[in-house]
């Protein structure tokens, strides 16, 4: 059984909007989260979708979103991911964890993630870095230029063997920014597959202008 977990529990502090960006409904009268929900639900290899939302919005979203299981999130992304994992059916084999802020996830990426899980514990789409990446310390002075030829930008969905990821969550005490980091901290490898430039993450208010041009 393949379960998709869509993480929508953040409060979008960097976006400067009056409500979390994932609940913005100015796009053809649909909330941002509804785009990725529909993609996962309509995919033939996804058996069920779990949506993790802030406790403050839980009742409202539960009434509006009827085609997936809605659960309350935690104070951090890591905690919300764990709560999503705990809501999965006991017979779950694989889980795909996706950021609600990426509305244009493609069916091809979902398919490729699931396909590569047949011989990998963890899989993530990624794009090679095209900009020069630097390291800056102390008053934003550049301390090092990194080799972009070996650097990638991870995207979501990140796909995992369910039981292994759940156990890794239970063993991890450090706060991390994604589930690949949790797997890596427990010594497991992760395979990267080619991502999609359209699978962008909406982070800042200005990103909505780009988003509207794509819808």
Q: Which fold has domain 2-214?
A: Spore Coat Polysaccharide Biosynthesis Protein SpsA; Chain A (3.90.550)
DSSP-derived pairing of the beta strands 152-154 and 158-161: unpaired
pLDDT one digit per residue (tens) for the chain, 215 residues: 999 999 998 765 444 456 677 877 776 678 889 999 999 999 999 999 999 999 999 999 999 999 999 999 999 999 999 999 999 999 999 999 999 999 999 999 999 999 999 999 999 999 999 999 999 887 788 989 999 999 999 999 999 999 999 999 999 888 899 999 999 999 999 999 999 999 998 877 766 666 666 66
Distance CA 31, CA 20 (A): 11
Angle between helix axes 162-171 and 77-86 (nearest 10 degrees) is 130
Nearest CA to 6 out of 51, 41, 70, 55 is that of 51
**Would you state the structure tokens that stand for residue 3, as one six-digit string?**
């379960």
**pTM: predicted TM-score of the whole model, two decimal places:** 0.91
């Amino acid at each position: 059984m393949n379960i998709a977990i869509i993480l929508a529990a953040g409060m979008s502090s960097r976006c400067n909007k009056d409500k979390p960006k994932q609940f913005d409904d100015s796009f053809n009268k649909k909330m941002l989260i509804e785009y990725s929900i529909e993609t996962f639900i309509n995919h033939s290899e996804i058996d069920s979708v779990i949506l993790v939302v802030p406790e403050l919005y839980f009742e409202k979203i539960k009434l509006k979103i009827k085609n997936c299981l809605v659960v309350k999130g935690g104070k951090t992304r890591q905690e919300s991911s764990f709560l999503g994992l705990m809501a999965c059916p006991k017979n779950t084999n694989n889980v795909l964890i996706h950021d609600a802020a990426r509305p244009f996830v493609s069916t091809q990426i979902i398919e490729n993630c699931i396909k590569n899980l047949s011989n990998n514990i963890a899989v993530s789409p990624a794009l090679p870095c095209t900009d020069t990446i630097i390291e800056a310390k102390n008053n934003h002075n550049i301390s090092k230029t990194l080799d972009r030829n070996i650097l990638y930008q991870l995207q979501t969905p990140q796909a995992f063997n369910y039981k292994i990821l759940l156990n890794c969550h239970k063993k991890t005490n450090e706060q991390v920014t994604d589930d690949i980091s949790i797997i890596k901290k427990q010594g497991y490898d992760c395979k990267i597959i080619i991502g999609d430039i359209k699978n962008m993450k909406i982070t800042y208010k200005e990103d909505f202008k780009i988003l509207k041009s794509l819808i």
